[in-house]
Amino acid sequence: MSKPAPVFDVAAVRRDFPILEQEINGRAMVYLDSAASSQKPRPVIDTISAFYLTDNANVHRGLYELSRRATERFEAARRTMASFLNAGHEREVVWVRGATEAINLVAATWGAANLKPGDEVILTCLEHHSNIVPWQLVAQRTGAVLRYVDIDDQGRLRLDHLDQLLSARTRLMACGHVSNALGTINPIAEIARRVHAVGALLLVDGAQGAPHVRVDVQALDCDFYAVSGHKMCGPMGIGVLWGRRELLEAMPPYQGGGEMIDQVLPEASTWAAVPHKFEAGTPDVAGAVGMAAAADYLAAIGHEAMAAQEQQLIRHAQRALGNVPGVRVFGPVDPAERIAVFSFELAGVHPHDVATILDAEGIAVRAGHHCAQILMRRLQVPATTRASAYIYNTPDDFDRLAAALEVVRTVFA
Ligand code: PMP
């Protein structure tokens, strides 16, 4: 007998998200923009407010009880994130503002120290601007060259094209774990094997991976992994850069300031050990504690249950959207190759008009280029409408979306 797929009680999860219980334009709100930012459950909000109510003080400096407690909460949150990512050591976890800052940190420090004219950095045409522009900046400074892996007609990376691009000139590949625009899950362990075979490093933009897919940085065998708190039920303005310890130790600091130094002398200074070398200034302690609470919240639901539920939701959404005439969904067809992020076009209607009418129906979606202009150009569309789901979404939400798309069709008939 095959084992039943684990699932969880979505109704109970929804009760943790009071923000979802509201009407927009006279209709029960349907929130389908979690790829832009997820909502936050009560335990995360309560953890943040409890921190400010009982434990708040600056960290690492104080010799008094409250500061010790704040420091302990901050470092415990780091341990939680290390275990969430299955990092080999908590010192491999650097607190940053989000995935954007994590990638900028690596591009600016590792890139400046390691890239020379003619060296190559491989990106993909699925990347979010956060995983393109930092590399453009460092390429302009160092003379390195950027290459882009192409996709197939379902928005999957073409590994045969990656093989053509990889060479002795490749120093690093920077690749999203999951596409924010198409929902494609990329085969990171397979990509790591190919990238390492030419002696290059692999940075993974996990902004959309960590919220949906179990992340095991050791099994993925990547070298850097960037995570954003606000996409995984945590607060905005906090994130994590995981990096291999020997790489982090060899990299120069990112920003200078308090906390990141060992000795400050008039002309030069020495650095604190990793990860503090990369954490200049007062960190977002409450944000870190809140992000750890979010990681615990997701872990309690369980990744297997989340994935099983999401697969069911994808199948339902594909049927619902497939029944609306004129809708074309981009990205992988096989649910196993994607998350519940659906970029689509509705024939003859601009995505901004689609989103405006959906808003009038109480449905929140995104329309535009989704910070993926290279991808939009590749798809030969100016923009798409994107409906992105998370743990609190139900099949009903996609039925509401499909019905509202019929309204759009009527308006533009
Ligand atoms: N990469 C991807 C794939 C994203 O979806 C996002 C957020 N839209 C980012 C990077 C940027 O993350 P953050 O908001 O944490 O800076």
Q: Do residues 316 and 231 both lie within one domain? A: no
Per the CB < 8 A criterion, the answer to whether 135 and 146 are in contact is: yes
Question: Which residue has the least CA distance to atom 16 on ligand 1?
Answer: 100
**Mean pLDDT over all residues of the chain?**
97
Residue 156's Cα: distance from chain center in Å?
18
What is the average per-residue pLDDT within 71-76? 97
CA 120 – ligand 1 centroid, Å: 23
pLDDT at 60: 84
Looking from the CA of residue 371, the nearest atom of ligand 1 is: 8
Q: Do residues 101 and 175 both lie within one domain? A: yes
Let me know if 63 is exposed, middle or buried by CB neighbors in 10 A (0-12, 13-18, 19+).
exposed
Angle between helices 285-301 and 42-50 (to 10 degrees): 150
Instruction: Concatenate the DSSP letters of all residues of 269-284 into one string.
Output: EEEPPTTGGG--SS--
CA 331 – ligand 1 centroid, Å: 19
Within-domain flag for 63: yes
Looking from the CA of residue 370, the nearest atom of ligand 1 is: 8
Residue 4 has pLDDT above 80, yes or no: no
Per the CB < 8 A criterion, the answer to whether 299 and 84 are in contact is: yes
pLDDT at 374: 97
Residue 140, number of CB atoms within 10 A of its CB: 9
What is the average per-residue pLDDT within 366-384? 96
Residue 142 has pLDDT above 80, yes or no: yes
Confidence of residue 61 (pLDDT cuts 50, 70, 90): confident
pLDDT at 6: 76
Parallel, antiparallel or unpaired: strands 27-28 and 30-31: unpaired
CA 128 – ligand 1 centroid, Å: 7
Pocket probe for ligand 1: among 37, 94, 103, 205, the residue whose CB has the most ligand atoms within 8 Å is: 205
Residue 340 has pLDDT above 70, yes or no: yes
Instruction: Give tens-digit pLDDT for 262-271.
Output: 999 999 999 9
Q: Do residues 281 and 329 both lie within one domain? A: no
User: To 10 degrees, the CA torsion angle through 376, 332, 302, 217?
Assistant: -70
Confidence of residue 2 (pLDDT cuts 50, 70, 90): low
What is the average per-residue pLDDT within 385-400? 98
Between 61-70, 181-190, 351-360, the lowest mean confidence (pLDDT) is in 61-70
Looking from the CA of residue 127, the nearest atom of ligand 1 is: 3
Q: Do residues 369 and 381 both lie within one domain? A: yes
Q: Do residues 26 and 124 both lie within one domain? A: no
CA 46 – ligand 1 centroid, Å: 25
What is the average per-residue pLDDT within 199-228? 98
Question: Which residue has the least CA distance to atom 5 on ligand 1?
Answer: 180
pLDDT at 193: 98
Looking from the CA of residue 179, the nearest atom of ligand 1 is: 3
CA 411 – ligand 1 centroid, Å: 34
What is the average per-residue pLDDT within 154-183? 98
Question: CA–CA separation, 150 vs 163, rounded Å?
Answer: 11
Within-domain flag for 200: yes
Say whether 30 sits in a helix, a strand or coil.
strand
Q: Do residues 271 and 306 both lie within one domain? A: no
Handedness of CA 374, 187, 94, 388 (dihedral sign): positive
What are the catalytic residues? 371
pTM of the prediction? 0.98
Residue 382, number of CB atoms within 10 A of its CB: 14
Question: CA–CA separation, 340 vs 323, rounded Å?
Answer: 17
Instruction: Concatenate the DSSP letters of all residues of 182-213 into one string.
Output: T-BBP-HHHHHHHHHHTT-EEEEE-TTTTTTS
Within-domain flag for 296: yes
Pick the last residue of a domain from 300, 325, 352. Answer: 300
Per-residue exposure over 82-121, b if at least 16 CB sit within 10 Å of its own CB, e if not: bebbebeeebbbbbbbbbbbbbbbbbbbbbeebbeeebbb
Instruction: Give tens-digit pLDDT for 232-262.
Output: 999 999 999 999 999 999 999 999 999 999 9
CATH of residue 254: 3.40.640.10
Confidence of residue 406 (pLDDT cuts 50, 70, 90): very high
Pick the last residue of a domain from 243, 266, 300. Answer: 300
Q: Which residue has 């009071």 as its token pair?
A: 18
pLDDT at 413: 81
What is the average per-residue pLDDT within 377-403? 97
pLDDT at 59: 94
CA 76 – ligand 1 centroid, Å: 25
Give, as one character, the DSSP assignment of residue 6.
Answer: P
Residue 1 has pLDDT above 60, yes or no: no
Pocket probe for ligand 1: among 38, 231, 232, the residue whose CB has the most ligand atoms within 8 Å is: 231
Q: Do residues 279 and 328 both lie within one domain? A: no
Within-domain flag for 320: yes
Residue 5 has pLDDT above 80, yes or no: no
pLDDT at 141: 97
Pick the last residue of a domain from 269, 300, 331. Answer: 300
Token code pair at residue 277? 């070398």
Residue type, 155: G
Say whether 62 sits in a helix, a strand or coil.
coil
Question: CA–CA separation, 386 vs 246, rounded Å?
Answer: 39
CA 228 – ligand 1 centroid, Å: 7
Residue 50's Cα: distance from chain center in Å?
26
Per-residue exposure over 315-350, b if at least 16 CB sit within 10 Å of its own CB, e if not: ebbbebbeebeebebbbbeebebbbbbbbbbbeebe
Instruction: List the one residue out of 37, 96, 60, 75 whose CA is nearest residue 243.
Output: 96
Residue 369 has pLDDT above 60, yes or no: yes
User: To 10 degrees, the CA torsion angle through 30, 237, 175, 276?
Assistant: -150
Q: Do residues 120 and 193 both lie within one domain? A: yes
Looking from the CA of residue 178, the nearest atom of ligand 1 is: 3
Percent of the chain residues past pLDDT 90, beyond the cut: 97
Q: Do residues 237 and 127 both lie within one domain? A: yes
The structural domain count of the chain equals: 2
Q: Do residues 187 and 318 both lie within one domain? A: no
pLDDT at 3: 64
Within-domain flag for 3: no
Pocket probe for ligand 1: among 131, 188, 208, 369, the residue whose CB has the most ligand atoms within 8 Å is: 208
CA 279 – ligand 1 centroid, Å: 20
Domain span at residue 312 reads 10-37+302-411
Residue 40 has pLDDT above 90, yes or no: yes
Instruction: List the one residue out of 390, 410, 380, 367 whose CA is nearest residue 151.
Output: 380
Pocket probe for ligand 1: among 95, 105, 128, the residue whose CB has the most ligand atoms within 8 Å is: 128
Q: Do residues 145 and 24 both lie within one domain? A: no
Instruction: List the one residue out of 263, 264, 255 whose CA is nearest residue 283.
Output: 255
Maximum alpha-carbon separation in the chain? 72
Within-domain flag for 4: no
Looking from the CA of residue 176, the nearest atom of ligand 1 is: 3
Within-domain flag for 400: yes
Query: Which residue ranges have their beta carbon within 6 Å of ligand 1?
Result: 98-100, 128, 130-131, 176, 180, 205, 207-208, 228, 239, 371
What is the average per-residue pLDDT within 357-383? 97
CATH of residue 391: 3.90.1150.10
Within-domain flag for 30: yes
Q: Do residues 271 and 126 both lie within one domain? A: yes
